[in-house]
Structure 1
Amino acid sequence: MGRAEERRARQRGGRRAAPRRSSGTPAAGVGGGSAQPGAGTGPAGGAPGGRAAVRRAAARPAKAKKSLIRRLFTWKKILGTVLGVCLLGIGAFVVLYMLVDIPQGNAAAERQSNVYKYSDGTVLARDGEVNRESVSLDKVPKEVQHTFVAAENKSFYHDSGIDLKGTTRGLLNTLTGKGTQGGSTITQQYVKNYYLTQDQTVTRKLKELVISLKVDRRESKDEILAGYINTSYYGRGAYGVQAAAQAYYRVDAQHLTVEQGAYLAALLQAPSQYDWAVAGPNGKRLVQARWNYVLDNMVGQHWLDAAKRKTMKFPVPKEPRGAPGLGGQKGYLIDLANKQLEQQLMKEQGITQAQAEAAVVDRGWTITVNIDKKKQAALESAVKKQLTGKLDPKKRKADKNVQAGAVSVDPRTGKIVALYGGQDYFKHYSSNATRRDFQPASTFKPVILAAALDEEAKTQDGLPIDANTVYDGTSGRQAVDHGSKVGFGPPNEDHVSYGQITVQSAMNKSVNSVFAQMGIDVGMKNVMSVADKLGMDTKGMQAVPAQTLGSMGASPLEMAAIYATLDNHGKKVTPTIVASAENGTRKVEMPDAVGGQAITREAADTVTSVLTGVVDDGTAKTSVADNPLREDQQVAGKTGTSDENKSAWFTGYTPGLVTSVGLFGEEPAAPYRHVSLAGATGLIPGSGRINGGGYPAQIWAEYTFGVMGDTSKFDLDTTQGAAKQTPSLPPTSSQTPSHSPSQSPSQSPSHSPTQSSQSPSHSPSQSPSHSPSQSPTHSPTAPDPSDSSTAGNPPDPDDQQQPHDQHQLHDRQPAG
């Protein structure tokens, strides 16, 4: 091609393609080389159009390879999988619906007697005479029928028999081990009660779903409702609305009022917890809330007139009657065994309390309890000999008001070896061993000391709190928090002032003012936290200074748990009555009653050492230390006497046995108000009150020294407290400390309240500056031990004089 042609080609927008070149060879047109012959001017030949395409291709980024995850999980594949699973699920449910038939009813057939055995294998009782009487729905007033629907399933009359959302949630919770939640319809609950079991398994839930759908198609709503209210368990051994009406109100179902029906409907959520006769303050509050919920739902459904609803009052049920064969202490033992087994099933299976009760009561269980037959007999004998044998209700009105409760525990194993719930299960249905509506009073003081030691707390002056720390024991002294008064200054018993006094002596004499200040020093939140760790149920309790007086509610079972943990060197003890429970081939494994370290061993052992001083040189000396039955056993313990003498306690222990004894003043008939124990057994009212160091300590000693041949000593890892002190000689004039406890107790110390602590002697080998063996001289205000009105009931400087505003700290509702 000539130059002219090249020019023409350039004018047309193209040019000759440059010849291929080898490495290092200049291209044509660059450096004078000639073009290859036959090179075209189009795209294939390197013309401008081809080069533009190359440039565009180069400008585009290279297409990235899809990752493995993106290739596997495309939206089309995900959608297809979801649709496939749904179709498979629907298909499976259709097959299940076709295969599962409505079975024969089994509610009555599955009711079998439970057998209860002592720890030695001998039979304690057989319990299981089923209290059921079915009634037709026309025997139940329409408004009462509506109470059950309002409580459980407002959509009952127009639903398909199932709650798909609730059932799905229940299935997921069962699969994931999260327990169960509400949501079942009345139809589902009826199917579960009558056709299936209470077991929480996926298979059972699927069957429940299918059978409920079929039952809803086959039976009318009235038939289903009748089946539901006739097969449900209401507590007190009552199955069905007719038995429940008789058990709670002594009437037939046809005579139930709307208010009574609403209570029975409310019971189904938690029969034993909501039974007014045995419910604690929290249970009573909950059942009243549930009762109101039922009636309000009825108004919302136009089944009850709103004006009539406003006039309705809560219908307190009548006192329960014990079942045949459960007289004496048997009913109390069986009741606690059932409750502990139910609690274990709730933990294992995630079922509700109502479901657990239905799974235990009359279900053919063989339950062996830890109760030692000999110790049980000895405890019953001790209560009769030392207390109930002296009561004469016909002669003295006060004697009608005395209730006793006790729990005895082996601290090494946590086994409840003996229990006293009351004079007779038929006469007093609720157990005094487990009731939590009376103040533990000064038996709570060791918890405060345990918290001080475990938290390594210090006084207002920055000194460590231990058994030798000196406090101001002036009665009514205002407690202070770093210079500020906290508005709390409890008087000591009989307003006795002790001046400067060691913690050991303050525990011996149960000095309220000392422990009120100690609680502030430790911090009440820390005190209540340690109480919880030791075994007290502190849920809902306020962490306020008044709790230092033991103004909360507690049971002998709880106090036995706390002291057993102290006895067991700080390892948590949860007293257990159930040794084993079997139902056919099924066996329930009960948890270990002894757990991990709740507080340090040194803290627990120091408290034990201090509490030996209460027995040997304090408020329990006459009844326990000087008891002729004692054979050199080493004993630790604490007395307690509550506000207005409404309760009196002694909780004590040896190295191998812990027993808590409580006496409670309660009216024998509704409304079961708490009343004073003063004057019972013939003691002169006022001066003859019943103290913790009296009958409770005497019962404890009669029982413990009668069954314990063990004279071993406490193995204590501490250098403090009465058990580790060498008795000191009475001080001479040169040895008398500047603030000796031998001063007249009525003298107040010269120190101001903000300087309540003096530097104690902390050397382990030294006795405290105020030896526990040195008691204040006789106070003119203290009771005279020789007074015949206090015979057999020695003086006990506890906290009868608690501030009256303590009633606001806890629910003072009457006991059941």
Structure 2
Amino acid sequence: MGRAEERRARQRGGRRAAPERSSAGDAKGGKSGIRRFFTWKTVLGSIFGFVLLVMGALVVLYATTDIPAGNAAATQQSNIYKYSDGSILARTGEVNRENVDLAEVPKEVRLTFVAAENKSFFTDSGIDLKGTTRGILNTLSGKGAQGGSTITQQYVKNYYLTQDQTVTRKLKELVISLKLDRQKSKDYILAGYINTSYYGRGAYGIQAAAQAYYHKDAKKLSVEEGAYLAALLQAPSQYDWAVASPTGKRLVKERWNYVLDNMVGQKWLDAGKRAELKFPVPKAPRPAPGMEGQTGYLVDAARASLYRQLVAQGSASTISDAEALVSAGGWTITLNIDKKKQHHLEQAVKDQLTSKLDPEKRSVDADVQPGAVSVDRKTGRVVAMYGGIDYFKHYTNNATRRDYQPASTFKPLILAAALEEEAKTQDGRPINANTIYDGTSGRPVKGSAIGFAPPNEDDQDYGDITVQTAMNKSVNSVFAQMGVDVGMDEVLKVAGELGMDTKGLEAVPAQTLGTMGASPLEMAGVYATLDNHGKKVTPAIIKSADHKDRSVELPDPIGDQVISREAADTVTSVLTGVVDDGTARASVQDNPARRGQQVAGKTGTSDNNKSAWFTGYTPDLITSVGLFGESAKAPHPQVTLSGATGLIPGVGRINGGGYPAQIWAAYTFAAMGEVSKFDLETRQGAAVQPSAPPSPSESPSESPSESPTTEPPTSEPPTSEPPTSEPPTSEPPTSEPPAPDTSQPVTENPVEPNNQQ
């Protein structure tokens, strides 16, 4: 009997005899074991029971939870920032907040916040159940929170609760939001939201934000300015125009457009008016009292590091939440900054550079922005940082900014990749310090699908030269070819392992000239890893961060071995040649304060002289110094450094071997302590006797057009004896090299080229 017949028999009252089952049939078609307990009925019943349990718990929670007293203003405390020795650096925490009535805020400005965060605000019940459920599940699974909270929920979190990412807090947020929506008007909630939110620049509430970003009261804000402030709430630090990266600026503009487009979609803004609106670039920040000089840079760098760590360990789901946690106060944050070394660095910048700048006499002098970071190799601690001439005069921290090219300071990373990957030239010769390359200027690279033929500084031809000499003289054509020989994918991979942010970079030959962005902090970390024999060093500015309600676990700045010790030590050995017989000789090697200290380092001068670098190190102390050309006039584009301090424009360039190397030497030789030597496991490079001279049978990777024009690299190791009277092997400047404390820097080359040095 089929199923249809059986169904009809039952309808007629008939019965069908159950067929007898054999044991074999039970095993074949019957339900046995665990399947008996997981039928669709039991699963559905379990789900239904769980839903009833949750609903019951919410009912109990709703009945037992009252709307608490607001805590946003009452719990504000100071934060204390200390030097590494425990002495006070700064005390912050005075709340910058001034509540305003909603009626004082233009209606269109109010609506920008609704358009940005919660378009259904005026009709919803105060919660987003789907978003809250997702947030709870993410918290339970350790993924952190995601978006989806309503304006009411965000206000409850800001004013009544905390930023903690716990299930209990999220459930309380849900219940209080439901109650608040029933008991208070939408205008009351919206006013509370815009008056308690954190906008960055130390500003809480729309009135403080209006003053911080546009230097006006909230009642005078335009709709486009309101849309920017509304967009800020998603990521105050990342979207603050004064410090935003190019990516941050792009994202906040996209967010600004999103807000205004939503307003048009909701019929809150006329489409014609919307089309006429232009992005309202915020005004320069006005720092808080007590943050003048270097203090503001140090405090901001420490805060930014703490924000990232709070997110990394799950105490906050976003940087914005972390900012709110820290801004609530009660923190004691001890920096790794050594007060004595910090003084030495500030003094070196003043003596070697800023005392020579005279913007009233030369407008270009106002465009010179110095930045520097010093790191202890053994601990990874940032022991000194120079962020700019004054936090009140220049808000951007030059030590951490990443918008300028590191230029030729990238070349050691190409050599590191070649040694680590055991790369070979196009004709199969292993790449090492003694490998001969063709140093002809403008020679097209071979082996690349992308054409590239970089000129050398001053378009100088070197003919056949060793890698050591090419590093000493910073020969572009050699390292462009070497990058192709290694493979640019491998070069960027090794650079990333050493500590450089290479995400999103194209693996093209032009990167060999250091055309990406980097900061002194980043380059100090990369060179610290080389100095640490290939064991990763991630510079750390925070020593400890203590709070009565939470603990912060700081990662160890010293990480794993990322390249072999031999590769790292060989690069260090080669880089001693740059100091003793190359582009940094006059400023570092000939400095009488050196006292025989062994030093490795690399100069760098970017295209059109917009940046100049020297990153160098002793066996224990790594310091990266950068000078950046930034117009003193808004919107502060990048400009040339040429002509600053009275050097003849186009002739006396500010380059890496000049002021950056002089600042480095003045600081390092004052702060280093006892004279020391590198402990190197290598037989290559200028720091050791070569195991054998380059073999005459080794042919260059490209046939030169003329005979070699340079000698092999220096074979003698550096000594503590004073430098000889022999001239340096690098291209001499147009005038005699000055002593480090004179008013003029050494120029690596006299003519401003259109390439990197």
In structure 2, what residue type is equivalent to 1:680?
A
Normalising by the residue count of structure 2, what TM-score does the alignment of the two structures yield? 0.91
SS in 1 for 2:559: strand
Structure 2 vs 1, CA of residues 473 and 98 (structure 1 numbering), >3 Å: closer, same or farther? same
- The answer for the alignment partner of 2:82 in structure 1 is 117
1:76-121 CA distances to partner (integer Å, 9 max, x unpaired)? Answer: 3222222222211111110000011000000011221110011101
1:299-343 CA distances to partner (integer Å, 9 max, x unpaired)? Answer: 111111112212211111000011111110010000010011100
- Report if the CA contact (8 A) 1:507-1:610 is conserved: yes
Distance in 2 between residues matched to 1:180 and 1:322, nearest whole Å = 32
- Report if the CA contact (8 A) 2:153-2:177 is conserved: yes
2:749 matches 1:785: no
2:91 matches 1:149: no
- The answer for the alignment partner of 1:11 in structure 2 is none
- The answer for the alignment partner of 2:585 in structure 1 is 621
- The answer for the alignment partner of 2:15 in structure 1 is none
Cα RMSD over matched residues?
A: 2.8
Residue 803 of structure 1 deviates from its aligned partner by 5.5
Residue 779 of structure 1 deviates from its aligned partner by 11
Residue 61 of structure 1 deviates from its aligned partner by 6.0
In structure 2, what residue type is equivalent to 1:793?
P
In structure 1, what residue type is equivalent to 2:104?
K
Structure 2 vs 1, CA of residues 70 and 219 (structure 1 numbering), >3 Å: closer, same or farther? same
Please point out which of 258, 270, 274 is paired with 2:223: 258
Please point out which of 335, 342, 366 is paired with 1:369: 335
Distance in 1 between residues matched to 2:127 and 2:560, nearest whole Å = 45
Distance in 1 between residues matched to 2:246 and 2:532, nearest whole Å = 31
- Paired residues for 1:639-678 under 5 Å: 639-678=603-642
- Report if the CA contact (8 A) 1:137-1:222 is conserved: yes
In structure 2, what residue type is equivalent to 1:191?
V
2:102 matches 1:160: no
Residue range with higher mean Cα deviation, 358-367 or 380-389: 358-367
- The answer for the alignment partner of 1:279 in structure 2 is 244
Distance in 1 between residues matched to 2:327 and 2:624, nearest whole Å = 29
2:713 matches 1:771: yes
2:271 matches 1:324: no
Structure 2 vs 1, CA of residues 488 and 791 (structure 1 numbering), >3 Å: closer, same or farther? farther
- The answer for the alignment partner of 2:7 in structure 1 is none
Please point out which of 517, 532, 554 is paired with 2:518: 554
1:695-738 CA distances to partner (integer Å, 9 max, x unpaired)? Answer: 1111111110001122221111111111112699xx9xxx9979
In structure 2, what residue type is equivalent to 1:94?
V
In structure 1, what residue type is equivalent to 2:494?
V
- The answer for the alignment partner of 1:356 in structure 2 is 322
2:208 matches 1:243: yes
2:681 matches 1:717: yes
- Report if the CA contact (8 A) 1:186-1:228 is conserved: yes
Distance in 2 between residues matched to 1:373 and 1:333, nearest whole Å = 12
Please point out which of 96, 99, 122 is paired with 1:131: 96
In structure 2, what residue type is equivalent to 1:261?
G
Distance in 2 between residues matched to 1:363 and 1:608, nearest whole Å = 44
Distance in 2 between residues matched to 1:778 and 1:125, nearest whole Å = 46
- The answer for the alignment partner of 1:796 in structure 2 is 748
- The answer for the alignment partner of 1:20 in structure 2 is none
SS in 2 for 1:639: strand
- Paired residues for 1:541-580 under 5 Å: 541-580=505-544
2:448 matches 1:477: no
In structure 2, what residue type is equivalent to 1:399?
D
- Report if the CA contact (8 A) 1:619-1:693 is conserved: yes
Distance in 2 between residues matched to 1:444 and 1:381, nearest whole Å = 28
Distance in 2 between residues matched to 1:375 and 1:446, nearest whole Å = 27
- Report if the CA contact (8 A) 1:508-1:772 is conserved: no
Residue 496 of structure 1 deviates from its aligned partner by 1.0
Structure 2 vs 1, CA of residues 62 and 394 (structure 1 numbering), >3 Å: closer, same or farther? closer
SS in 2 for 1:158: coil
Consecutive unaligned residues in structure 1, runs of 5 or more: 1-55, 740-750, 761-767, 807-816
- Report if the CA contact (8 A) 2:535-2:558 is conserved: yes
SS in 1 for 2:114: helix
- Paired residues for 1:371-450 under 5 Å: 371-450=337-416
In structure 2, what residue type is equivalent to 1:423?
I
In structure 1, what residue type is equivalent to 2:733?
P
Distance in 2 between residues matched to 1:314 and 1:148, nearest whole Å = 17
- The answer for the alignment partner of 1:32 in structure 2 is none
- Report if the CA contact (8 A) 2:345-2:384 is conserved: yes
Distance in 1 between residues matched to 2:371 and 2:20, nearest whole Å = 95
Structure 2 vs 1, CA of residues 151 and 232 (structure 1 numbering), >3 Å: closer, same or farther? same
Residue 772 of structure 1 deviates from its aligned partner by 3.2
- Report if the CA contact (8 A) 1:333-1:419 is conserved: yes
Residue 653 of structure 1 deviates from its aligned partner by 0.3
1:435-475 CA distances to partner (integer Å, 9 max, x unpaired)? Answer: 11111111111111111111111111111111111101011
Distance in 2 between residues matched to 1:780 and 1:352, nearest whole Å = 50
- Report if the CA contact (8 A) 2:688-2:715 is conserved: no
Distance in 1 between residues matched to 2:572 and 2:173, nearest whole Å = 55
- Paired residues for 1:490-505 under 5 Å: 490-505=454-469
- The answer for the alignment partner of 2:272 in structure 1 is 307
- The answer for the alignment partner of 2:13 in structure 1 is none
- Paired residues for 1:485-524 under 5 Å: 486-524=450-488
Residue 592 of structure 1 deviates from its aligned partner by 0.5
- Report if the CA contact (8 A) 2:578-2:585 is conserved: yes
Please point out which of 556, 559, 562 is paired with 1:595: 559
Residue 538 of structure 1 deviates from its aligned partner by 1.5
Distance in 1 between residues matched to 2:440 and 2:429, nearest whole Å = 20
- Report if the CA contact (8 A) 2:606-2:612 is conserved: yes
1:533-584 CA distances to partner (integer Å, 9 max, x unpaired)? Answer: 1111122222211111111111100110100010011111110111111111
1:121-142 CA distances to partner (integer Å, 9 max, x unpaired)? Answer: 1111101121101101111111
- The answer for the alignment partner of 1:72 in structure 2 is 37
2:130 matches 1:178: no
- The answer for the alignment partner of 1:455 in structure 2 is 421
- The answer for the alignment partner of 1:220 in structure 2 is 185
- The answer for the alignment partner of 2:576 in structure 1 is 612
SS in 2 for 1:324: coil
Distance in 1 between residues matched to 2:697 and 2:37, nearest whole Å = 89
1:729-775 CA distances to partner (integer Å, 9 max, x unpaired)? Answer: xx9xxx99799xxxxxxxxxxx99744799x9xxxxxxx98123699
Distance in 2 between residues matched to 1:418 and 1:598, nearest whole Å = 25
Aligned residues: 724
2:160 matches 1:195: yes
- The answer for the alignment partner of 2:719 in structure 1 is none
Distance in 1 between residues matched to 2:728 and 2:469, nearest whole Å = 15
1:20-58 CA distances to partner (integer Å, 9 max, x unpaired)? Answer: xxxxxxxxxxxxxxxxxxxxxxxxxxxxxxxxxxxx969
2:502 matches 1:538: yes
Distance in 1 between residues matched to 2:517 and 2:301, nearest whole Å = 19
Residue 59 of structure 1 deviates from its aligned partner by 9.1
Structure 2 vs 1, CA of residues 780 and 102 (structure 1 numbering), >3 Å: closer, same or farther? closer
- The answer for the alignment partner of 1:765 in structure 2 is none
- Report if the CA contact (8 A) 1:269-1:353 is conserved: no
Distance in 2 between residues matched to 1:594 and 1:213, nearest whole Å = 48
1:394-440 CA distances to partner (integer Å, 9 max, x unpaired)? Answer: 12212111110000000111100000001110000110000111111
In structure 1, what residue type is equivalent to 2:567?
A
Consecutive unaligned residues in structure 2, runs of 5 or more: 1-18, 717-724
- The answer for the alignment partner of 1:465 in structure 2 is 431
- Report if the CA contact (8 A) 1:693-1:796 is conserved: yes
Identical aligned residues as a percent: 69
In structure 1, what residue type is equivalent to 2:180?
V
- Report if the CA contact (8 A) 2:352-2:662 is conserved: yes
- Paired residues for 1:701-712 under 5 Å: 701-712=665-676
- The answer for the alignment partner of 2:547 in structure 1 is 583
Distance in 2 between residues matched to 1:362 and 1:318, nearest whole Å = 26
Structure 2 vs 1, CA of residues 757 and 532 (structure 1 numbering), >3 Å: closer, same or farther? farther
Structure 2 vs 1, CA of residues 781 and 583 (structure 1 numbering), >3 Å: closer, same or farther? closer
SS in 2 for 1:724: coil
- The answer for the alignment partner of 1:813 in structure 2 is none
Residue 75 of structure 1 deviates from its aligned partner by 2.7
- Report if the CA contact (8 A) 1:691-1:795 is conserved: yes
